[in-house]
Amino acid sequence: DAKTTQPPSMDCAEGRAANLPCNHSTISGNEYVYWYRQIHSQGPQYIIHGLKNNETNEMASLIITEDRKSSTLILPHATLRDTAVYYCIVRAQAGAYNFNKFYFGSGTKLNVKP
């Protein structure tokens, strides 16, 4: 699975958009990009995933560059409760019995400030 690179920390003002970057320059054509976050003392929470196209759900938007070597997670209106560590994970679509071991790196600590 492709390695990902994320900044260790970012600040964002409450109510503003938070844009979290992720580099995955060695990504292969069949590898998906997943985003999770982990709020202190809780389990990781799935946010969104994508392959080629940009994706949006009720939590966030995922923008993937045309060459797929990087992506950005966008929280459109950050709140204090969005303060968490955000993980970008890239992994291939597995076969029927080749399961998706998710490798969580260090992630980005997002600090949302009042």
Partner 1 sequence: DVKVTQSSRYLVKRTGEKVFLECVQDMDHENMFWYRQDPGLGLRLIYFSYDVKMKEKGDIPEGYSVSREKKERFSLILESASTNQTSMYLCASTLGGGGWQPQHFGDGTRLSIL
Binding region for partner 1 (CB under 8 A): 32, 34, 41-46, 49, 51, 91-106
Q: What whole-number distance in Å separates Cα of residue 13 and Cα of residue 16?
A: 6
Decide whether 48 or 112 has the Cβ nearer to partner 1.
48
CB of 30 to partner 1, least distance (A): 9
CB of 11 to partner 1, least distance (A): 22
CB of 14 to partner 1, least distance (A): 25
Decide whether 41 or 114 has the Cβ nearer to partner 1.
41
Give the Cβ contact number of residue 90 at 10 Å: 22
CB of 25 to partner 1, least distance (A): 20
Pick from 92, 112, 111: nearest CA to 101? 92
Decide whether 58 or 67 has the Cβ nearer to partner 1.
58
Tokens encoding 2: 């492709």
> To the nearest 10°, the Cα dihedral for 46, 33, 1, 107?
-60
Contacts of 43 (CB under 8 A, 6+ apart): none
